[in-house]
């Protein structure tokens, strides 16, 4: 049973989101622990959020389940239909195909973190519910478009 040396897993920062949307992820970093352990069937990431940071743009997945557990601080789960405060040990699950967008936001003045585990599929489509955007992934190659499939301009932010 190989132990993952978390201290030697590089923190991933930045974003794959197009244009100005990438800047919305300032203050977020992640440790790709599943990759560090050689996992291929699901991802496991430790996401760290500075005060004021958010995990993602509000979205939902058509093919991939997501599960998270808060490991540090107090974070807010924001969904299309409401919000919930999450503390250390609290969990949330997002089944594939459940068309309710979600994101995690750190509204506190202290660092927060959560472990997120999700399915890996060859093909995925995710929809962003607070803007005209969708993401298509084929073998980890991401493409962001408007929901009708037309390109997103680099200057687009919503």
Residue 156 confidence (pLDDT): 61
Name, in order, each residue with C-beta under 8 angstroms of 19's C-beta and a sequence gap of 6 or more. Answer: 152, 153, 154, 155, 156, 157
Whether residue 158 has pLDDT greater than 80: no
Whether residue 155 has pLDDT greater than 70: no
Residue 110 confidence (pLDDT): 98
Q: Which CATH architecture has domain 23-122?
A: Sandwich (2.60)
Quickly state the pLDDT bin for 1 (edges 50, 70, 90).
low
What is the distance between the alpha carbons of residues 145 and 21, in angstroms, rounded to a whole number?
Answer: 13
Q: DSSP states of 115-153 as a string? A: EEEEE--SEEEEEETTTTEEEEEETTEEEEE-TTSPBPP
pLDDT digits (tens, 9 = 90+) for 64-113: 999 999 999 999 999 999 999 999 999 999 999 999 999 999 999 999 99
Quickly state the pLDDT bin for 148 (edges 50, 70, 90).
very high
Q: How many CB atoms lie within 10 A of CB 139?
A: 7
The strand pairing partners of 136, in sequence order, are 125, 143
pTM of the prediction? 0.93
């Amino acid at each position: 049973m190989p132990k993952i040396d978390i201290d030697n897993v590089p923190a991933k920062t930045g974003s794959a989101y197009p244009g100005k949307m990438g800047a919305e992820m300032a203050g977020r970093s992640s440790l790709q622990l599943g990759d560090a352990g050689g996992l291929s069937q699901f991802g496991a990431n430790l996401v760290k959020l500075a005060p004021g940071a958010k995990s993602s743009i509000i979205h939902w997945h058509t093919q991939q389940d997501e599960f998270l557990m808060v490991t540090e601080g107090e974070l807010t789960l924001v969904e299309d239909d409401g919000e919930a405060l999450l503390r250390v040990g609290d969990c949330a699950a997002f089944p594939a195909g459940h068309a309710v967008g979600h994101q995690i936001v750190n509204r506190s003045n202290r660092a927060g973190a959560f472990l997120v585990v999700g399915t890996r599929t060859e093909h995925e489509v995710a929809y962003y519910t607070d803007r005209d955007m969708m993401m298509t992934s084929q073998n980890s190659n991401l493409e962001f478009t408007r929901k009708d499939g037309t390109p997103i301009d680099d200057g687009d932010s919503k």
